[in-house]
Structure 1
């Protein structure tokens, strides 16, 4: 919608990872270097962790785009809470292996046979496991067992694990010592600092063919505060800012413009939170509701009766006082 207005070739802040738009911050360069180092070793595990939206999948896609398909067959899987047997089936499926007998032994045999065929062709297999923090300990241990597939002393399968920070705690469990010994490198992605956030935004604008002076300097710190330097959040915020700029016909986006957008986003989040709280409030059973109504009605009736009684007593008292006054006046006369 706003692409033509700002002269973009395409939307600069799409949420879908694009390896051609990879922004190499210092931390991202380090993580990518670890992946490349692990790849050159051809064995063991590489572990990349980080908060949601810090760019783990983007780095994996960047690595995959650089691979020589004649040497390495790489597959990427996104895991949920897969038990070991299901994980084995998923790995076989991602390498397009056909198994007629659906026992675990048959799947393992098919994987091993496939890896040996690759080895005979002077090729090897690489498995990237995304969202690895979802895997139970037993499934991570299953990955370690797969790394034991060897031929002539050379590993046939190498795995890279990408996951949120919870993965670090899983790996540090006491019974994961053997797995930890197989890790040859690890890296943790943290959020951007202000300088990186500014450079990232300007890089994306440049890649899309836009004007690097589109945002005034005061905008970047506001975006940094709201996004906390997380690339995916930066993308979401910047997309809204550009849409606002287009609708308001802002040739240059000011800090006031950014503040307006951030206030709108905050209000939307507050409304969503309030709506979720309202819908999640437990509904009272019909019987409970009826009981409450009966108790309320009884309370009101009791209160009304008490007021009527007090009114009658007051009326009687007034009549008695009038009678006494009338008798006294009669005596005086």
Structure 2
């Protein structure tokens, strides 16, 4: 890809959460501090919420990567809509607990015996539940029941819940009072502000061993902030595409003109739609009238939008073809150099 062109040791804006690229904004640092505090306490629940793409999973990975206490045995669940029984099965699987029997009682007994065994070794269990907003209220309650496993008045397992804002609604329900009383800290992540976006981008570039300072113009960071709204995942997607565009066009600097051009190409990805909802609503609310001037205009508008989409798709394919051609030429040059060096050695 573009790594060698810009001198990166690796792609700096990958989507996969990587603790090495963790950027401690004020909100993220506070959330991480709460997680660490909860870990030190060894009991209760920690709840971290935030919009999609704000870095909840990255925080969890960062915490796991930096756990210095060898006596903490951690497991991470990425949940879907699990029933309480399915949750227990997943907990047993992640901690590699052997369960004899299929009843809920069998699973609970196996988990409890595992936790007691850890306690006898001077260890304790940490369960990190990601995407916790997908859990039904009764499954969240099952997590609370697991926290009742104790020995000598010390909890045997601790849970961290990471989820989108819907998780707040679940926990705030009247019948979740007992669960709320077990929460010892909570934090809500927000998108990055303009200054943090600049720091975030420069931090990830530095992690990829990029040493120059002029890759982005001074006003580029402000525009990237406006296009991505400061959401880290959108920043990763957008800047990754900017760098690919820069590589294809052989650019050494990414300026506002480039950013606007790429943003236009990526408008569907950055906004999440092409106004398909409003188009669909128009179709439902306006009956087809063959002789209606208004209907003819609607059809023309739809056709124009389809034309724009097709044109954008064609442009993207042309760019990708150019990229492949350029990559093949680059590989061909590298192969020729290797063959030349091999001949000289002989």
TM range (shorter): 0.7 to 0.9
TM-align CA RMSD: 2.3
Per-residue CA distance 1:22-76 (angstroms, 9 max, x = gap): 1111111110000000001000000000000100000000100111463100000
Q: Distance in 1 between matches of 2:268 and 2:62?
A: 36
Partner of 1:221: 222
Q: Distance in 2 between matches of 1:260 and 1:143?
A: 48
Q: Distance in 2 between matches of 1:238 and 1:23?
A: 16
- Over alpha carbons, which structure has the higher Rg? 1
1:9–1:186 distance in 2 versus 1, CA, 3 Å: same
- The structural deviation recorded for 1:273 is 3.5
1:102–1:280 distance in 2 versus 1, CA, 3 Å: farther
SS in 2 for 1:273: coil
Q: Is the 8 A contact 1:50 1:189 kept in 2?
A: yes
Q: Is the 8 A contact 1:73 1:126 kept in 2?
A: yes
Q: Distance in 2 between matches of 1:21 and 1:275?
A: 35
Q: Is the 8 A contact 2:129 2:161 kept in 1?
A: yes
Partner of 2:310: none
Q: Is the 8 A contact 1:206 1:212 kept in 2?
A: no
Q: Distance in 2 between matches of 1:70 and 1:232?
A: 32
Q: Distance in 2 between matches of 1:108 and 1:191?
A: 39
Partner of 1:52: 52
Q: Is the 8 A contact 2:131 2:162 kept in 1?
A: yes
Partner of 1:233: 234
Partner of 1:296: none
Q: Distance in 2 between matches of 1:186 and 1:269?
A: 29
1:270–1:54 distance in 2 versus 1, CA, 3 Å: closer
Q: Distance in 1 between matches of 2:20 and 2:57?
A: 13
The 10-residue stretch of structure 1 (259-268 or 3-12) with the greater mean CA deviation from structure 2: 259-268
Partner of 1:30: 30
Give aligned pairs, total: 286
- The structural deviation recorded for 1:212 is 2.7
- The structural deviation recorded for 1:268 is 6.8
Per-residue CA distance 1:198-228 (angstroms, 9 max, x = gap): 1100111111122232000111111111111
Q: Distance in 2 between matches of 1:263 and 1:97?
A: 51
Q: What TM-score results when the alignment is normalised by the length of structure 1? A: 0.81
Q: Distance in 2 between matches of 1:271 and 1:89?
A: 35
Q: Is the 8 A contact 1:115 1:125 kept in 2?
A: yes
1:120–1:114 distance in 2 versus 1, CA, 3 Å: same
Partner of 1:310: none
Point out where structure 1 has 5 or more consecutive residues left out of the alignment. Answer: 283-291, 294-333
Partner of 1:329: none
Q: Distance in 1 between matches of 2:10 and 2:233?
A: 17
Q: Distance in 2 between matches of 1:56 and 1:128?
A: 11
Q: Distance in 1 between matches of 2:179 and 2:117?
A: 26
Partner of 2:174: 174
- The structural deviation recorded for 1:129 is 0.3
Q: What TM-score results when the alignment is normalised by the length of structure 2? A: 0.78
Point out where structure 2 has 5 or more consecutive residues left out of the alignment. Answer: 284-288, 291-346
- The structural deviation recorded for 1:274 is 6.7
1:160–1:90 distance in 2 versus 1, CA, 3 Å: same
Per-residue CA distance 1:229-275 (angstroms, 9 max, x = gap): 00000000000100111111111111111111111111677897378
Q: Distance in 1 between matches of 2:174 and 2:132?
A: 18
- The structural deviation recorded for 1:100 is 2.5
